Chain A
């Protein structure tokens, strides 16, 4: 079956760095997405990786290893506004997104 695993909840300190991991098992693979969802709001797109390696976008970076079925989202210089849920989603061979349950990130001052 198809499956996405990511931690349920993580806590980090303002100004620090946090890495949110995601492992996936899909029938075929056409890329991996990360979305951010603040409580009571819509998910918003953060990144898309289809090739191995690290992609950096300001304070956020996303990494993919296709051979390991693994991705992570790296958040640097954490700010209070980064408190949110982070959703990992892998695209299978039918271009359907398989979603993880999300990682709730709590930032403490």
Chain B
């Protein structure tokens, strides 16, 4: 138990569906992240929020839309996804975004399958 929870753990959706992934951290951290993890590939950073403000958006397609209503909650809204978007989506949090305070605590992930 890392103090970061994600729901749902598994999600199967069609290309025309709209769904949302939820992440919550109970660590009092200020920064939250969304990553995509595909088999045998490096973790891909998607979005970073620091003190609720988006600080990174690594050329992510607009069919992925993040939302950070407060420092403890992070959402990833999904719509009109493609089969190649199937992957493990990991949420993480850290105390800050520089130096050793960038130690990130990960949630268990949402295994997404797009049909």
Whether A42 lies near B40 (C-beta < 8 A) is: no
Whether B43 lies near A48 (C-beta < 8 A) is: no
Q: At the interface with chain B, which of A12-20, A57-65, A76-84, A93-101?
A: A93-101
Q: Is B105 in the interface zone, CB < 8 Å from A?
A: yes
CA distance A28 to B100 in the complex (A): 16
Residues of A with C-beta under 8 A to B107: 42
Interface residue tally of chain B, by bracket? 20 to 34
**A44-B2 contact, Cβ under 8 Å, with A31-B100, A95-B102, A97-B102:** yes
Q: Which of B85-115 contact A (CB under 8 A)?
A: 90, 97-100, 102-109
Nearest Cβ distance between residue A16 and chain B, in whole angstroms? 25
Residues of B with C-beta under 8 A to A43: 43, 90, 106
Residues of B with C-beta under 8 A to A98: 42
Whether B100 lies near A42 (C-beta < 8 A) is: no
Nearest Cβ distance between residue B30 and chain A, in whole angstroms? 13
Nearest Cβ distance between residue A51 and chain B, in whole angstroms? 11
CA distance A98 to B105 in the complex (A): 16
10 contacts between A and B (CB under 8 A): A33-B102, A33-B103, A42-B4, A42-B106, A44-B106, A45-B105, A91-B102, A99-B43, A101-B41, A102-B40
